[in-house]
Structure formats: structure tokens, C-alpha cells
Structure 1
Amino acid sequence: MPRRKGAPEVNAGSMADIAFLLLIFFLVTTTIETDAGLDRMLPPMEPPEEDVVIKQKNIFTVNINKNGQLLVEDELMDLKGLRSAAMAFLENGADGSCNYCGGRKDPASSDNPSKAIISLKNDRETKYSTYITVQNELVGAYNDLRNREAQKLFGRDFTEMESEYLNPETPSNVRDDLKDKVKRVQDMFPQKLSEAETSTN
């Protein structure tokens, strides 16, 4: 009686090659989304040569507690009023040296936009979404003032000019023209947004 043959074996020699090719395919074709961070310029490492004295009236303090409540200049404030309060502080112009400021010239508030600093402080338990919303309102105060001055000077919004200037696809001759305009408006209202150390209680 002839011997029965067993089931034919599958040649698995090329399975490793196929798996390797599939791995390469998925590595090449897969895109990984990355979170866009906050656009912030870090201060230089070296300390200033001389101590800078900052008057308390030139600091606009914004505190966020763990419940998301705002304490602005030691007073409770709703988020809706934060941007206008920050704008009033930035363009107060108490020392009279700012000829483009439309502020009240309150002697108890900031002297000049170049001296005005906004200090943002939050609790460790503050929600991230609340923190970002408050920060957006403060940056929005700077942008609104810059847009106003850019419209007066150049007939365009500052945010639009800055976006075009920072776009790498913008032709170099256009970027060169925008560079001085963007810097001029930035110098009128320099963004001095200080993030104070997080409180633990």
C-alpha cells in the first residue's frame, strides 16, 4: 500500500520580506499631526547690565484661580471685559509722551506703551482651556491696538501684514517692504506679556 502524503507545506520564506515592505509602506505614507505651540520669545540668558526699575503702575496684573475666576488689578472681572481693560491700560499714556495713544492719561495707570507690562499668573489647578482663552484675550488687546495704528498708517490690518511677512512663500521684495512696516507698528505697542510663576494654593 502506497504511503499517504501529508498536507503540503506553505513556503513562508518570503513572509518576512512582505512584512518588511508593508512596514516601510505604512511608515512612508502615515502622517503624524503635531500640536502647534504657543508663539513666545524667550528672554536672553544673560542678565541686564544694570537693574531695571519697573513702577508698579506700569504692571497690569491678571490672576486666574483654580475655579477659572479672573482677578484683574485686585478686582474680580468677567472675561468679556478683559480685552478692553488691557487696551485701556496699554494706551493710557500717563506721561504724555505717546502722541498716538487715545487713553485717559490716568496718573495711576501706565506711563507709556513701551513701559506697560501685562503680568499673567495662574493656579496649578487652572484649566488649560481657561488659561489659553485668557492669554488669547490679552494678545488680542495688543493686536487690536496694532491693527488700529496699522490702518491709520498703511490702510491694512497689522495681523494681515505680519502673517504675509512671516509666510515663507511671500516674495522677498514684498517681505522687505513689509519688514519696516511691521516693526514700526510693533514698536508702537511692544508685546510685553509676562507669565509669572504658577501659584500652588
Structure 2
Amino acid sequence: MKNHRSPQEVNAGSMADIAFLLLIFFLVTTSIENDAGLNRSMPPDIIDNRVDIKKRNLFEISINDADLIMAEGDVIDSKNLREKVIAFIDNGGVPIQMEGYCNYCKGEGLVVLSENPDKAIISIKAQRNTSYPVYVAVQNEVIGAYNTLRNRESLRLFNTPYESIYSDYYNEEISEDQKGQLRERLEIIRALYPQKILEPETVNN
């Protein structure tokens, strides 16, 4: 006579505990990467549409759906964009005897370019089919123009490039006193060449 034995049951209660512990382990040890975007702040005096901006104080850059870059209506290579942006920001177009004269600007003082760096605004407009690498390249050239001017003035005033002061400021090993001094220097340089970049809403055509 055959001996019929019922199959042994597997205790699955501990499996749930193990799965829960593994879930906790992965949640604790896994790092979630943040997407790096373009760090940009809108100039507060531009947000209000009631503020009038003189045409000479607005440098317009546009990128079409064929990735052609236009600066002030002329097609331009991205390699030449930084030089044009610097000339616009650093123009110093107010005569010496008038209010708003820039005594540290090295530009030509043309009447068709910005009055002073505080009023100079860069507008970047892209169409929806513009490729991201070209858009970023334009952004880099504009930021590079500001950094070039800030480095120049930082060397003149503090004998140290602006970028070095910036990197030292975020060094965790410096003291609070040193950080305070670096903050003051950053604010001085940024006041000389405030970064004002206007990015209108992307257009279809």
C-alpha cells in the first residue's frame, strides 16, 4: 500500500521581510541624480512689461529652425558671438559729462550700442526646432562674454580673476571671515557687470 504524504508547505512569511529589507537597503544606498539645467535668473526690472527698454540697450540674438544664429539681424558664427556681446555690454555709450557715464568701460562709446553695462540686456530667442547643442553654445558664449569682462575688472581691482574668487567662495575649507570678504568682492564685480539675460518664450516660426 502506497504511503501518500502531503507536500511540505514553504513558510513564505520570512520572504516578505527579506524583500522589505532589500527595498529599504536600495532606497537608502541609491543616489538620485538631479538633472543639471541652465542656471539663469530673469532680471527683475525686465519682468514688468511696463518698463520701456531703449533699442540701443537691447542686444537681440535669435536661432532659427536651421540652427542659424542671428545677432542684431545678421547671421553670425557662434565663435564670433562673444566678441560682439562684449562690445555691446562694454560700449559705454554715455558721454563723460552726462549721468550714467561708465568710467571703467573700454568700448568705443557708439550711439547704437548700450549706454552702460547696467542697462545692457541680452535677448536670446530660439525656435522650437532649434537643436539643443546650438542653443547651449549660444548661452555659453553670452556667459563667457560676461565672465571675460568680470575677470578683467576683478584683476584690475583685486589682482585676482573673478572665476578664482567665485571658486574660492564655494570652497568648504575657507573660514567665515574669508567667505565674507570673497562675497563682498563678488558683489562689487557683479554690480559693475550685472548679468541681464532675457529669454522670451520659444516661438514656432
TM-score by length of 1: 0.90
Q: How does 1:90-169 map to 2 (within 5 A)?
A: 90-96=89-95, 97-167=101-171
Contact 2:82 2:141 in 1 (8 A): yes
Q: Over aligned residues, Cα RMSD in angstroms?
A: 2.1
Q: How does 1:71-90 map to 2 (within 5 A)?
A: 71-90=70-89
Identity %: 47
Contact 2:82 2:145 in 1 (8 A): yes
Aligned-partner Cα distance in 2 for 1:71–1:153: 35
Distance verdict in 2 for CA 1:42–1:166, change over 3 Å: farther
Distance verdict in 2 for CA 1:148–1:37, change over 3 Å: same
Mark the runs of 5 or more structure 2 residues left unpaired by the alignment: 96-100
Contact 2:43 2:197 in 1 (8 A): no
How many pairs align? 199
Partner of 2:27 in structure 1? Answer: 27
Structure with larger RCO (C-alpha < 8 A, sep 6+) = 2
1:186 to 177, 185, 190: 190
Distance verdict in 2 for CA 1:44–1:55, change over 3 Å: closer
Q: Deviations over 1:132-159 (max 9, x none)?
A: 1111110110011000110111111112
Aligned-partner Cα distance in 2 for 1:171–1:65: 48
1:68 aligns with 2:76: no
Mark the runs of 5 or more structure 1 residues left unpaired by the alignment: none
Q: How far apart are 1:42 and its partner, in Å?
A: 4.1
Distance verdict in 2 for CA 1:37–1:171, change over 3 Å: farther
Q: How far apart are 1:28 and its partner, in Å?
A: 1.0
Partner of 1:18 in structure 2? Answer: 18
Aligned-partner Cα distance in 2 for 1:56–1:82: 19
TM-score by length of 2: 0.88
